[in-house]
């Protein structure tokens, strides 16, 4: 065996061929495993030393809700169909499925990837021609260099600052706690998802996922080297090159496929879709329980609905510090009674928990003696900086530590009636090179899998909640995490800074997360850190926030003021209407989360995801889709009262509030007054589920409604939405209908499938304002109604 050198690149040949895998071996000892997993997914596992060095995978879980400990074996093909493929070898290896083609030059190892596009093979990606991989002649890091094509665009990487297109920039994927970050410029942030969606100049897309938990850097053209041509790269500090390539060319299909690949999204309870109050100020105050009670009083006074409260860590305080699983009994003498007071008001508490114990935590010595903290190879506790002093982190790869967590979470919170968790401050800043994770008895350097700890924290919290109340869906939210976090928790964009541009760039972060498989997300509305928002900024932030899956107003302002719905009397009437709108749209948002859970459909979406053929839809502007049928036009600029919006070509659109028709490809100016709702366009030929009950602190009984947006001329379409009682694990109902439109009439038939376990058997169907055509229901008795200027009918379905 000879050592690889720059003058003598490795030469590979086929060594083994089994179900779903071809193994190539080189004369240098390098091994390349090529996995044919699906017609549209081919994987490359490249091992320069011939052996797997990295830990098992915690990212790959095709269609599954969990991964068994200690993680997924890197050689496993479980969960994949492993379809038939064609293979030829003649100087180069050519592998071909129905959707993807891989050509590997065996001398030197150079890969070219193609995807099926009709009857043709369209180029996806190609290694750069010079030194695309490190076969042992560099520094031992995992390196992959690809040729960069003119006009290529790069999306994904989860939660990243700035424009959605990552071209021309460099990013680090490590988890930090960048409180008050700049949403346009800061890097890195909280989450690490080494996945990119690559689009060519024609809008065709493919996905590329590097399955690593090590620190990673991506460069999309910032770096240049005259000797290699235009290139981009991924470099991981350790592990193996484990690359999943997903063929398109449809970007929506690629996004669904990657979401499926990384696991089934958790379905949260219905109440999680409502407004969630929060602030650090209440629980930090000496009279915390009184301030928490005052929040309920103010909700009722201003008639504002609220379904949960993110309960900040001040409830755990001893002095000025925070101690997980401790209740400050001076602030909260009777936790169970306090929890019940919120439950009686219809509000679920979501308590903040942290995976680290400060040195003077009352139970630090006990946990250290049991060996449950992250330690070095000799068992010495490794400490890190946390808030105002040093701490030790629980090691969730140690089964005893996870069990300790579940036991204490149950005793300290769940037994008091709490049914959810806010998994916070879980970035695991363990930078000591000696730090090691237990990894279920196979100890490994902490640097190989730092982001895994945040996900395992959520996993352990979820397990405790399910064990305590097995008949209810748990609710969890996490600040940090890695690929696959959506299997366990909702997330948000962390401790953002109060600024106008944060509305714009936080939304792009949410879109990047959704393209990376994580759709159930939101932001701290109003801004968490920095100055308090002025009235106009606060109002625009609430307009944006009510259109996100997670809607929470949260703050830790410099002046210790509190972002609350009633903080500015002059805009309170508009805020109340927006909060009521959120209650109206709850069935629509809940249905989108069902589609995400069931079908892997992203909730928030860039315009081009559904309209890739429309080149102008690729403009990185301030409009996005909520589901496939609702266009949200954000107002991100101070003083603006109008929004110029270009409707995507490929559909007609209807102004949700006026009923005005907008043709696809047309640019219109929409009114965006401060005292009005956010500008919205609905796709013609769609229906949006709504709750027509009166919104507010104590809303009226649920009234099932459908905002119907018929085709502009003659046409037909179908609509459907899912619903259930909101918390249980049993299947719910699906309402659906077929709609036929002509010049005089809109005819709809309505169906319900399922046990009928939620609401009654009636539905009210409303047309856009100004719609003149007659509405008739073909399969049931109905009566005419009019609500808020929308004509419609109420019908009963048997």
pLDDT tens per residue across span 403-451: 999 999 999 999 999 999 999 999 999 999 999 999 999 999 999 999 9
Residues 6 or more apart whose Cβ sits within 8 Å of residue 698: 300, 346
Count CB atoms within 10 A of the CB of residue 55: 24
Q: What is the mean pLDDT of residues 49-78?
A: 98
Statement: residue 3 has pLDDT above 70: no
Query: Rounded to whole angstroms, what are the CA distances from 452 to 74, 368, 373, 424?
Result: 16, 21, 15, 14
Q: Is residue 785 part of a domain?
A: yes
Residues 6 or more apart whose Cβ sits within 8 Å of residue 365: none
Statement: residue 5 has pLDDT above 80: no
**Tokens for 445?**
């350097």
* pLDDT range class, residue 136, cuts 50, 70, 90: confident
Q: What is the mean pLDDT of residues 519-544?
A: 98
pLDDT at residue 730, rounded to an integer = 83
DSSP 45-103: EEETTSS--SPPBSS--TT-S---TT-B-TT--TT------EEEESSEEEEE-SSEEEE
Q: Is residue 218 part of a domain?
A: yes
Helix (H) or strand (E) segment spanning residue 21: strand 21-26
> Number of structural domains, the chain?
2
Choose the final residue of a domain: 261, 285, 315: 261
Query: Rounded to whole angstroms, what are the CA distances from 219 to 173, 544, 597, 790?
Result: 11, 31, 32, 51
Statement: residue 476 has pLDDT above 70: yes
Q: Compute the distance between CA of residue 597 and CA of residue 729 in angstroms, rounded to an integer.
A: 13
Q: Identify the CA nearest to 713 among candidates 647, 661, 636.
A: 661
Q: Where are the beta strands (DSSP E) in 387-445?
A: 389-393, 420-423, 435-437, 444-445
Provide the residue count of the chain: 798
CA 390 to chain centroid: 31
Q: Compute the distance between CA of residue 749 and CA of residue 720 in angstroms, rounded to an integer.
A: 12
Residues 6 or more apart whose Cβ sits within 8 Å of residue 502: 183, 496, 523, 527
* Beta partners for residue 550, in sequence order: 522
Taking the CA atoms of 427, 428, 433 and 437 in sequence, report the sign of the dihedral they define. Answer: negative
Statement: residue 7 has pLDDT above 60: no
How many H-runs (helices) and E-runs (strands) does the chain carry?
11, 52
DSSP 447-503: GGSHHHHHHHHHHHHHHHHHHH-TTS--EEEESSEETTGGGT-EEE--SBB--HHHH
Taking the CA atoms of 525, 527, 528 and 532 in sequence, report the sign of the dihedral they define. Answer: negative
Q: Compute the distance between CA of residue 261 and CA of residue 282 in angstroms, rounded to an integer.
A: 41
Q: Is residue 150 part of a domain?
A: yes
Q: What is the mean pLDDT of residues 116-130?
A: 96
Choose the final residue of a domain: 216, 242, 261: 261
Q: Is residue 464 part of a domain?
A: no
Q: What is the mean pLDDT of residues 168-176?
A: 98
Taking the CA atoms of 364, 369, 372 and 376 in sequence, report the sign of the dihedral they define. Answer: positive
* pLDDT range class, residue 609, cuts 50, 70, 90: very high
pLDDT at residue 8, rounded to an integer = 74
Q: Compute the distance between CA of residue 273 and CA of residue 435 in angstroms, rounded to an integer.
A: 39
Higher pLDDT, 781 or 183: 183
Which pairing describes strands 435-437 and 444-445: parallel, antiparallel, or unpaired? Answer: antiparallel
pLDDT at residue 360, rounded to an integer = 95
Statement: residue 2 has pLDDT above 50: no
Which pairing describes strands 231-236 and 241-246: parallel, antiparallel, or unpaired? Answer: unpaired
Is the CB of residue 608 less than 8 Å from the CB of residue 621? no
Q: Is residue 111 part of a domain?
A: yes
Q: Identify the CA nearest to 467 among candidates 416, 422, 421, 407.
A: 407
pLDDT at residue 6, rounded to an integer = 56
Q: Is residue 592 part of a domain?
A: no
Q: What is the mean pLDDT of residues 32-59?
A: 98
Tell if the pTM clears 0.85, that is, is over it: yes
Q: What percent of the chain has pLDDT over 70?
A: 99
Choose the final residue of a domain: 261, 287, 321: 261
Q: Is residue 170 part of a domain?
A: no
Q: Compute the distance between CA of residue 720 and CA of residue 732 in angstroms, rounded to an integer.
A: 13
CA 664 to chain centroid: 29
pLDDT at residue 528, rounded to an integer = 97
Burial degree of 149 (CB within 10 A; 0-12, 13-18, 19+): middle
Is the CB of residue 157 less than 8 Å from the CB of residue 218? yes
List the 745-753 sheet strands across, edge first: 715-723, 733-741, 745-753, 774-777
CATH assignment at residue 211? 2.60.40.1760
Q: Compute the distance between CA of residue 260 and CA of residue 263 in angstroms, rounded to an integer.
A: 5
Residues 6 or more apart whose Cβ sits within 8 Å of residue 294: none
Q: Compute the distance between CA of residue 787 and CA of residue 798 in angstroms, rounded to an integer.
A: 24
Decide: helix, strand or coil at residue 446: helix
Q: Compute the distance between CA of residue 458 and CA of residue 405 in angstroms, rounded to an integer.
A: 11
Q: Is residue 125 part of a domain?
A: yes
Statement: residue 86 has pLDDT above 50: yes
Q: What is the mean pLDDT of residues 723-728?
A: 94
| Average pLDDT of the chain to the nearest whole number | 96
Which pairing describes strands 100-105 and 110-117: parallel, antiparallel, or unpaired? Answer: antiparallel
Q: Which domain holds residue 735?
A: 703-798
């Amino acid at each position: 065996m000879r050592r690889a050198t720059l003058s003598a690149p490795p030469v590979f040949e086929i060594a083994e061929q089994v179900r779903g895998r071809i193994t190539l071996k080189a004369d240098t000892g390098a091994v390349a495993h090529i996995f044919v997993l699906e017609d549209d997914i081919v994987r490359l596992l490249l091992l320069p030393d011939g052996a797997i060095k990295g830990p098992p995978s915690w990212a790959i879980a095709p269609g599954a809700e969990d991964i068994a400990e200690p993680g997924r074996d890197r050689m496993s093909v479980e969960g994949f169909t492993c379809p038939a493929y064609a293979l030829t070898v003649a100087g180069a290896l050519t592998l071909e499925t129905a959707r993807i083609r891989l050509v590997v030059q065996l001398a030197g190892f150079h890969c070219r990837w193609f995807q099926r596009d009709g009857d043709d093979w369209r180029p996806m990606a190609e290694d750069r021609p010079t030194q695309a991989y490190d076969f042992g002649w560099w520094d031992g890091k995992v390196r992959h260099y690809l040729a960069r094509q003119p006009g290529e665009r790069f999306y994904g990487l989860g939660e990243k600052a700035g424009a959605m297109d990552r071209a021309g920039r460099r990013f680090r994927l490590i988890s930090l706690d960048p409180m008050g970050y700049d949403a346009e410029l800061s890097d890195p942030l909280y989450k690490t998802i080494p996945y990119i969606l690559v689009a060519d100049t024609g809008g065709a897309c493919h996905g590329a996922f590097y399955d690593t938990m090590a620190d990673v850097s991506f460069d999309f053209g910032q770096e240049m080297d005259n000797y290699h041509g235009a290139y981009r790269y991924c470099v991981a500090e350790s592990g193996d090159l484990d690359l999943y390539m997903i063929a398109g060319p449809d970007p929506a299909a690629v996004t669904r496929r990657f979401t499926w690949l990384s696991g089934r999204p958790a379905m949260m309870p219905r109440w999680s879709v409502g407004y969630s109050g929060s602030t650090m100020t209440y629980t930090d105050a000496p009279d915390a329980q009184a301030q928490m009670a005052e929040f309920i009083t103010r909700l009722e006074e201003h008639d504002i609905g609220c379904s949960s409260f993110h309960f900040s860590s001040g409830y755990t305080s001893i002095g000025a510090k925070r101690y997980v699983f401790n209740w400050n009994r001076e602030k909260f003498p009777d936790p169970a009674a306090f929890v019940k007071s919120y439950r009686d008001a219809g509000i679920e508490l979501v308590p903040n928990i942290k995976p680290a114990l400060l040195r003077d935590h009352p139970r630090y010595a006990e946990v250290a003696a049991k060996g449950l903290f992250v330690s070095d190879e000799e068992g010495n506790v490794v400490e890190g900086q946390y808030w105002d002093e040093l701490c030790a982190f629980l090691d969730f790869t140690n089964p005893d530590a996870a069990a300790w967590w579940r036991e204490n979470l149950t005793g300290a919170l769940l037994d008091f009636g709490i049914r959810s968790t806010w998994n916070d401050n879980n970035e695991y800043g363990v930078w000591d090179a000696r730090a090691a994770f237990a990894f279920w008895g196979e100890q490994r350097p902490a640097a190989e899998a730092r982001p895994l700890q945040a996900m395992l924290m959520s996993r352990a919290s979820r397990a405790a909640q399910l064990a305590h109340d097995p008949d209810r869906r748990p609710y969890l939210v996490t600040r940090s995490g890695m690929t696959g976090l959506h299997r366990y928790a909702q997330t948000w964009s962390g401790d953002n800074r109060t600024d106008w541009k944060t509305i714009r760039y936080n939304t792009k972060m949410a879109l990047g997360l959704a393209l990376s498989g994580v759709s159930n997300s939101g932001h701290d509305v109003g801004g968490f850190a920095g100055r308090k928002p002025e009235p106009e900024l606060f109002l625009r932030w609430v307009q944006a926030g009510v259109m996100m899956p997670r809607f929470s107003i949260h703050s830790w302002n410099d002046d210790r003021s509190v972002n609350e719905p009633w903080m500015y009397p002059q805009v309170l009437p508009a805020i109340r209407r927006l909060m009521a709108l959120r209650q109206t749209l709850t069935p629509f948002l809940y249905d989108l989360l069902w589609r995400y859970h069931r079908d892997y459909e992203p909730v928030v979406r860039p315009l081009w995801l559904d309209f890739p053929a429309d080149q102008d839809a690729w403009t990185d502007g301030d409009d996005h889709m909520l589901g496939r049928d609702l266009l949200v036009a954000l107002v991100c600029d101070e003083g603006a009262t109008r929004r110029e919006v270009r409707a995507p070509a490929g559909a007609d659109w209807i102004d949700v509030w006026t009923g005005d028709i907008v043709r696809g490809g047309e640019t219109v100016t929409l009114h965006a007054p401060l005292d009005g709702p956010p500008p919205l366009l609905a796709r013609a030929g769609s229906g949006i589920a709504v709750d027509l009950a009166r919104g507010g602190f104590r809303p009226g009984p649920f009234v099932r409604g459908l905002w119907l947006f018929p085709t502009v001329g003659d046409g037909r379409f179908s609509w459907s939405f899912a619903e259930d009682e909101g918390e249980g694990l049993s299947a719910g109902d699906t309402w659906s209908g077929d709609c036929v439109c002509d010049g005089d009439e809109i005819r709809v038939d309505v169906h319900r499938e399922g046990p009928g376990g939620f609401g009654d058997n009636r539905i009210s169907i409303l047309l856009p304002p100004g719609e003149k055509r007659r509405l008739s229901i073909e399969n049931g008795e109905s009566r005419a109604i009019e609500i808020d200027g929308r004509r419609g009918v109420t019908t009963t379905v048997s």
